Structure 1
Amino acid sequence: MNRLPQQLNKAFFAATALFLVGCSNTKFVPQGDYLYTGASVNIISDSLSKSKKNELKKELEGSLTPKPNSTFLGLRPKLWVYNRVSEPKKESGFKYWLKYKVGEKPVYLSDVDIPFNLDLIENTGENRGYFNITASYDTLPKNKRVKIKYNVSPRTQYLINKVTFPADSTVLSKEINKTVAKTMLKVNEPFNLDVIKAERERIDATLKENGFYYFDPDNLIIQVDSTEVRHKVDLNVKIKNNTPELARKQFTIDKIYIFSDYNLRNTRNRRRLVRADVDTLLWKENSYIIDPKEKFRPQIYDRALYFKSGDLYNRSNHNLTLSRLINLGTFKFVKNQFVLSDSLANKFDAYYYLTPHEFKSLRLETLGKSNSASYVGGEVNFNWRHRNFLRGAELFTATLYTAIDFQVGGNRESNNIYRVGSKFSLTWPRIIAPFKFESSSAFVPRTRVELGYEFQNRTQLYTLHNFNASFGYLWKENALREHDLKLLEVTYISPEKITDKYRADMEDPNNPNARALQRVVEKQLIFGPVYNYTFTNTMLPKKHTFYYRGLLDLSANLTGLISGANAEEGDQKTILGVAYSQYIKTEHDFRYYLKLDETSQIASRFIGGVAYPYGNSVYMPFVKQFFVGGSNSIRAFRARTLGPGSYDPRTSASSFFHDQAGDIKLEANVEYRKKLVSFLNVAAFVDAGNVWLFNEEEGRPGGKFSSDFLSEIAVGGGLGLRFDFNILILRLDLSIPFRIPYYEKGERWSFNEIDFSSKQWRRDNLMLNIAIGYPF
């Protein structure tokens, strides 16, 4: 009956505490000074539109210095830390770190150079065409704090009246005039200094594509004349009189020299090296390879060098050649030099100095891990790599690994998992195919063959042999788009031993999960093409960035069609006595990142997938189904224990947990990320989703996908810490379920069950995920 007064009291005390924290920063302000809390720009103009005013205001405010102390919820916690921590005696240690790394030095009015900001405002305005701009200021002090308001009168913005380009008959002027149609200087557009600079860069870039190797943007001047027409300017693009003669000439490639095994410490005369007949191989016309030890076959340069003798110099081909040589993965350093020809005018020789990596390497990796399914364990990997396996920059890798996972908790009997296996991969830096594959990308297209084997032992349950092989292609259109096409991927799974305990469960006629347990240990043969497409621009410094990965996985589609397989009617075909799987599977992973400011962002993800068995299969093979839960999925639920649909895993008669899988998957995640200090980030997140079956299974009632699927969505959320150590990110996520799909309909939201004081509730619902890297 006293809840409302109590809540009001709490709110009052919280507000009072916040007020006192805010006030505590001002008591450290020196006498006669003020804590600077920021500046605003007031645009005074009747002629500018609202959008123009806002655009100019935003730009001017962004240019002002210094920036005030950072705030969080209206407070300045970093400044508070700085003020509260006394001066450390040395420039190291925890106290120094707390004051100067976590804390933030105060910004006072005395730190603000107002005349400089006034000049900055006027210069910025003039650069945007406001040639008659004026600025003044007012200080707005209050309680030892001060804001500055800059009053700006931009007046009329000057527009471009006319643009002229060089009109003489030189080769350089003619090439510049060919670019006029693409000029960025448009009549009746506002004068903008940044656009003028960009126009010089554009002309320079075009000339570089047409042989003008020595040209520079500084060789151009764009003259401005504002005397002809009122509030308008004439622009005259002109080549400077002092432009060097070399910059005025077009150059072509004469000879090409490739040093395949160049040592950066080699100080011998390079030209003497080139002329030594014993070292030099004539590769093509006027193209030479210097590789005395014959470490590389010359064919690797066919797909890497985009220049040949006689070509007009072209910057794109220049950069493309360097990128391809680097992306071969065989060379540690790639240097390039163009040298003027001794005897021919307007020609130069191209030199490429390539320093290879060590071809062979052996690496040992160890990994410790823990997951929400009550497993902890470790993995050891031995990796051997050869970067030039067949003397053609081929990459060969061989991996031997062993891993163990112990179940250290949970409500069912433990069954530890032991794995041992090997992987072999050979990648060629070209497309090996009966057709010609052309690519102008900076990334070398590749052909890859992979072989693998794994032996898995789930103690007290079963052991499996897993063989896999694939052949396919990888290529990137550019830095944003990547394709991975496996023309054929083959997986064969065969059980070796099934324990009496597992067999009893899977053959128990009273166990509704018996059929699902049987499918886990059935022999499986899967073969067909798999295609992955990835787009990402998350590496770009943009406010909005995206990631997308699409998967199409087909198995035995043509084989099943030709053979007329129909498993539902009992006509299931086999290969070497093993029934092969026939299905279509597709999955789409879309992510969106919104950068709020320099220290925070919102990350979101949606995953949708469908796997449809048909023809020779009634059910999807277990290894190709979808799973949810765990550290990179719906974090409030243990890995692979959620779903399908509203199926309640607590009703399972098995004495052990088995993975819950589905044919349809929907998942969505939203996460707010905030950097606190240099290495520590915090996050708040919400995850939602589930998996479903296409066909109802007797042992998993409620698992079939239906029109009521939205009511079966699981929801969880929580808080996390991310320790960013540059070389790795250690992540701790603590989450709880908000909505449990296997509860009775109408009772699935579980907020009323939250009870942090209950030990049993904490044990059943608090999920701590420890992982490396971000979940998405």
Structure 2
Amino acid sequence: MTRRLIFIAGTAKIRVFLLCIILCSCNALKRVDADEALLVKNTIYADGKKVTDTDIQSLISQKPNSNLLGFPLRLHLYNLAKPNPDSSYQAWLHKKEKREQRLINWLSKKQVDSLGESFLVKGYSEWLKKIGEAPVIIDTSKTCKSLQRMSAYYGNRGYFNNTTTFTIDSTKREQRAEISYKIDLGNAYMIDTLTKKTASKAIDSLYALNFKNSLIKEGEQFDLSNFNKERERLTSIFRNTGVYNFQESSITFNILRDTSTTRGDRGMDVELNIDNLKKRGDSTLTTTEYEVFTFNKINIYADYRFDDDPNDLQSVDYNNYTIYFKDKLRYKPKALTDAIFIEKDSIYRELNKIRTYRQISNLNTFRYPTIELEEDSTQNKLKTNIYLSARPKYSLETNLDVTHSNIQRLGIAFSSALITRNVFGGAETLNISARGSFGLLSDQDLPEDFFSEIGGDINLTFPRIWLPFNTKKIIPYYMLPQTRMTVGTSFQKNIGLDKQTLNAVLGYNWTPSSTKRNELELLNVQFVRNVNPENFFNVYQNSYRLLDGVADRFDDPTEFPELAELFETPEGTTEPRLIIPSGTSGFTNSILDNTVTSNIDDRRLVNTIEERRQRLTEDNLIFTTNYSFSKNNKTSINDLSFYQFRFKVEGAGNLLSLVSNIIPFEENNDGNGLVFGVAYSQYVKTEFDFIKHWQLSPTNVLAMRSFAGIAIPYGNSNNIPFVRSYFAGGSNDNRAWNPYSLGPGSTQNLNDFNEANLKLAFNLEYRFPIIGNIKGALFADAGNIWNVFDDVEDPEATFNGFSSLKDIALGTGMGIRYDFTYFVFRLDVGFKTYNPALETSKRWFSDYNLGNAVYNIGINYPF
């Protein structure tokens, strides 16, 4: 019975939600009494000017009910709930048959007992109240509270004599009202003089050295936030110049208003006071002068346990550090000391302490460390004890995912990794991983619909830059340098041409600050082998249909007997078709070798198809070096106004080209150099990616992304390898097109997987809340791909200057997302607003309908 009731309630909730538009026709004033007014708008005026600052808007205690595109959906849902479901239940029981007909029968189509009826009535009311929003009734006490907040806000910015009032306008609509908050700021107070009083000589000297950067300046308007920032600035300076025990509470300001000034505004004198250190004993409070401290001894406790007896520990001295250990030291001393930025005889710096925490954590060998300071006040010296607790030597990670894409109808993917820490005693990390995926393909025309992919990687990470020369001065250890060596391979079955890949990477990364990151891959080698190139026309059906369309004029065996063996008539059809692969290759050779006579258009089309087949079926050897820089100024997960920037440049084949000048390589028929029988790729590639978010309100965000990328082949290559080219469309790109279906240029989806070597993309998305964890979005995606500086000659697919910008496609749409806190599930619907593949007169809104809409499912936001 319980399971049955839950099912009935669940399906009923869904039906209620789907009918919310009809239900929302209810009166918005249903829960508003005759002597009350529903708040519909707040407006703030400062000296007669409208204020739109979100910080000031947030000071208002009462805000109008939230709305979805101007409609108060949550208010109407709340109004649907019964005010008191317990009391209404008795009346409901007396009308059981009528209620069953109007509610129970409609929702569940079944009879339920009185327990189930009670559950539904009460459950619906509670559910509607939870997802809904009670009407905001104007409360003048809260309005006065808002005025007090605004007065304090402007008072903190120098307008001490501001006055505030409010007016309620209820004349526009019945039982609805607007509130206008009005602030008369008056004259702002200014800082006339700034003096200081310090109790400690050391503090006085340090302040004098850093006075010029003070945030409090004479002649500027009073702003309380500057006083708080100045207190933080000075505290940071003192703690980073030897005063390890400086207390921020030692800094105070005495402010004297001066009303006798002859200037048109008000003036004030500010005195900065920095007191001595306060120490509280058992019953007394003492004060002492602040002093600058230096380190005289630094102890490192490796593999520390709280129950260790110090007398049982052994020690070794290394570079002015003393390392304590039990039984055997499992770490190279240099690996430990390189991670510590506290040095003997140096002054205390809070920054070095923070850097030590970060670097030790970055080693991935120890848990978060403990740093203990012991003071010798007689000599102004500090002894430091650093306790390191080791992570497990080995750990095993496993993952299991269900996947879906435009290629995979359904897939199950798993991965497992064995992590070994401190492999060679220098805090190195060895990661050996294996992965696999199995499932069903989306294309039903393929002979087999089952696919598999297995692979594995060996990854070795060093917590330093691994080069034959010292890079410490260029990239110090506080930048968290790492060296990564990776070797991996993968095998695909029934995906495309069944690829086998082999990868090897020697890369470095370092992080100068929490907002910046650098990555350099000195060597990135990828070898791609197509196992079944004869399967090309089974996979790329568009290319096959084009070739077979040309062959239709040559399938008469009486007219072209020499081509008869190239065709077959599939069972159930009457039209001959080219046999794959013998027929397709034979027909292509016959056309290009002039074995049969064909017109120039047929020859050009067949030649284009054959060039694409050769390009996509040839093996690739990609030997690259690349560098990328990224910057992200997001301060926390709750920061909704930030930007991200990424730049990357990559060069391929240059080292091999240089070697070929010394050691001649074999060459193919096109004169391209071969390495292990494969023509190596040579190109230069660069990308710019910029993302910006604006927080328009506490819950609404406008997000923008722009991307530009180009890859130019030269030397040993006439085109870019498929795995390094660009595509357009998909859930993270232009959502009105499926992946690989947009472009190049104004072409109409010529190939099954359309790609090119130039890409422009621009995205704009407005995000807003709907109900609870359900969010909404409106978006516009623009962009396209083109061929440029390669062997593609089709003018519709190539970029020919600014005139080609008319081929930028535009997709618009809407999305709905559910926030699970740890990730966001989203569904976006994109409509082709401007389609460059159509005739010029039909490009706008010709495909703007549900029939041509594209539905995208994704995890987390697209940018």
Q: When the two structures are superposed, what TM-score results if normalisation uses the length of structure 1?
A: 0.85
Alignment correspondent of 2:773: 679
Alignment correspondent of 2:644: 547
- Partner-residue secondary structure (3-state), 2:614: helix
Pick one of 582, 592, 595 that aligns with 2:695: 595
Q: Structure 1's 423 and 554: CA in aligned 2 closer, same or farther, altered over 3 A? A: same
What is the letter of the counterpart of residue 456 of structure 2? S
Pick one of 627, 633, 654 that aligns with 2:727: 627
**1:641-672 residue CA offsets vs partner (Å, 9 max, x unmatched):** 3332333445x6xxxx4x22212222222222
Alignment correspondent of 1:769: 856
Measure how far apart 1:429 and its partner are: 0.5
Pick one of 24, 29, 35 that aligns with 2:27: 24
Measure how far apart 1:134 and its partner are: 3.1
Alignment correspondent of 2:713: 613
Alignment correspondent of 1:202: 233
Which stretch has the larger CA shift, 443-452 or 679-688?
679-688
Measure how far apart 1:162 and its partner are: 0.5
- Partner-residue secondary structure (3-state), 1:432: coil
Contact 1:184-1:199 at 8 Å conserved across structures: yes
Task: List aligned pairs for 1:27-42, cutoff 5 A.
Answer: 27-30=30-33, 32-37=35-40, 39-42=42-45
Contact 1:567-1:618 at 8 Å conserved across structures: no
Alignment correspondent of 1:722: 817
What is the letter of the counterpart of residue 624 of structure 2? G
Task: List aligned pairs for 1:75-86, cutoff 5 A.
Answer: 75-86=71-82
- Partner-residue secondary structure (3-state), 1:620: coil
Which stretch has the larger CA shift, 728-737 or 401-410?
401-410
- Partner-residue secondary structure (3-state), 2:233: helix
CA distance in 1, matches of 2:122, 2:507: 54
Measure how far apart 1:474 and its partner are: 0.8
Measure how far apart 1:772 and its partner are: 2.1
Alignment correspondent of 2:492: 456
Alignment correspondent of 1:9: none
Alpha-carbon RMSD across the aligned residues, in angstroms, is 3.5
**1:665-695 residue CA offsets vs partner (Å, 9 max, x unmatched):** 2222222222223432222223232222236
Pick one of 758, 761, 764 that aligns with 1:667: 761
Aligned residue-pair number: 730
Contact 1:101-1:677 at 8 Å conserved across structures: no
CA distance in 2, matches of 1:539, 1:566: 54
Alignment correspondent of 1:135: 164
Contact 1:665-1:689 at 8 Å conserved across structures: yes
Pick one of 517, 536, 556 that aligns with 2:653: 556
**1:231-275 residue CA offsets vs partner (Å, 9 max, x unmatched):** 211111113478444562222223222233234xx356xxx52xx
**1:468-489 residue CA offsets vs partner (Å, 9 max, x unmatched):** 1011211112122211111111
**1:398-424 residue CA offsets vs partner (Å, 9 max, x unmatched):** 121222353335778776543221111
- Partner-residue secondary structure (3-state), 1:333: coil
Q: When the two structures are superposed, what TM-score results if normalisation uses the length of structure 2?
A: 0.77
Task: List aligned pairs for 1:286-365, cutoff 5 A.
Answer: 287-290=322-325, 292-341=327-376, 344-365=378-399
Measure how far apart 1:99 and its partner are: 3.8
Query: Tell me, which stretches of 5 or more residues in structure 2 are unaligned?
Result: 1-19, 87-118, 280-286, 536-579, 592-605
- Is 1:282 equivalent to 2:317 in the alignment? yes
Contact 1:322-1:334 at 8 Å conserved across structures: yes
Contact 1:22-1:75 at 8 Å conserved across structures: no
**1:346-371 residue CA offsets vs partner (Å, 9 max, x unmatched):** 22222222333323222222222222
Alignment correspondent of 1:713: 808
CA distance in 1, matches of 2:700, 2:429: 40
What is the letter of the counterpart of residue 76 of structure 1? P
Alignment correspondent of 2:59: 63
Measure how far apart 1:386 and its partner are: 1.9
Alignment correspondent of 1:474: 509
Alignment correspondent of 2:116: none
Structure with higher Rg: it is 2
What is the letter of the counterpart of residue 718 of structure 1? G
Q: Structure 1's 168 and 599: CA in aligned 2 closer, same or farther, altered over 3 A? A: closer
Q: Structure 1's 291 and 430: CA in aligned 2 closer, same or farther, altered over 3 A? A: farther
Measure how far apart 1:95 and its partner are: 4.0
Contact 2:198-2:273 at 8 Å conserved across structures: no
Task: List aligned pairs for 1:113-262, cutoff 5 A.
Answer: 113-142=142-171, 143-166=174-197, 170-227=201-258, 229-230=260-261, 231-240=266-275, 243-244=278-279, 245=287, 248-262=290-304
Contact 1:534-1:549 at 8 Å conserved across structures: yes
Which stretch has the larger CA shift, 35-44 or 154-163?
35-44
- Partner-residue secondary structure (3-state), 1:629: coil
**1:627-646 residue CA offsets vs partner (Å, 9 max, x unmatched):** 22222222232322333233
- Partner-residue secondary structure (3-state), 2:197: coil
- Is 1:381 equivalent to 2:475 in the alignment? no
Alignment correspondent of 1:495: 530
Alignment correspondent of 2:633: 537
Which stretch has the larger CA shift, 389-398 or 32-41?
32-41
- Partner-residue secondary structure (3-state), 1:207: helix
Q: Structure 1's 109 and 441: CA in aligned 2 closer, same or farther, altered over 3 A? A: farther
Query: Tell me, which stretches of 5 or more residues in structure 1 are unaligned?
Result: 1-16, 757-761
Contact 1:332-1:356 at 8 Å conserved across structures: yes
CA distance in 1, matches of 2:121, 2:627: 53
- Partner-residue secondary structure (3-state), 2:234: helix
Measure how far apart 1:431 and its partner are: 0.4
Which stretch has the larger CA shift, 184-193 or 60-69?
60-69
What is the letter of the counterpart of residue 395 of structure 2? S
Q: Structure 1's 499 and 570: CA in aligned 2 closer, same or farther, altered over 3 A? A: closer
What is the letter of the counterpart of residue 338 of structure 2? R
Measure how far apart 1:314 and its partner are: 0.9
Q: Structure 1's 279 and 517: CA in aligned 2 closer, same or farther, altered over 3 A? A: same
